Amino acid sequence: MFTFVFIGKGTPAPFDPPRKLVIRGPYRFVRNPMYIGAGMTLAGAALYYESLSVFIYTCLFFLITHLFVVLYEEPTLRRIFGDEYEAYCRRTTRWWPTRSKK
């Protein structure tokens, strides 16, 4: 979240989105680190508590998040940041962290 504030000059909140494309910090390796962190936290809770209901909630979280990213967030970022976002998408993956492909 700090990268959104200090590099992007905005916040993760929809009412104050970053004004610059954030591609540093954890965003060098994957396009959605905050969603991944939240989902992995839920998955950890499901394992820790041995809870089927939390596991199902985690699966729903990942599914809904994926649909939101693909259907809304990515098209919006393409419209706002254009070629810069396209180049970023070619260098990084959506969900699985990798080393940056300069």
Distance from C-alpha of 1 to C-alpha of 52, rounded to nearest angstrom? 30
**How far is it between the farthest Cα atoms of the chain?**
45
Which token pair is 98?
């990798």
Residue 9 lies in a domain: no
Structural domain including 44 reads: 31-96
Residue 18 lies in a domain: no
Closest CA to 4 of 24, 15, 70: 24
Residue 51 lies in a domain: yes
Residue 50 lies in a domain: yes
Residue 73 lies in a domain: yes
pLDDT classification of 97: cutoffs 50, 70, 90 = confident
Buried b (16+ CB within 10 A) or exposed e, 34-53: ebbeebeebbeebeeeeeee
Q: How many domains are contained in the chain? A: 1
Residue 47 lies in a domain: yes
Residue 57 lies in a domain: yes
Residue 13 lies in a domain: no
Can you give the pLDDT at residue 10? 75
Whose tokens are 């396209």? That residue is 86
User: What pLDDT digit, counting tens, does each position of 50-68 carry?
Assistant: 999 999 999 999 999 999 9
Can you give the pLDDT at residue 100? 54
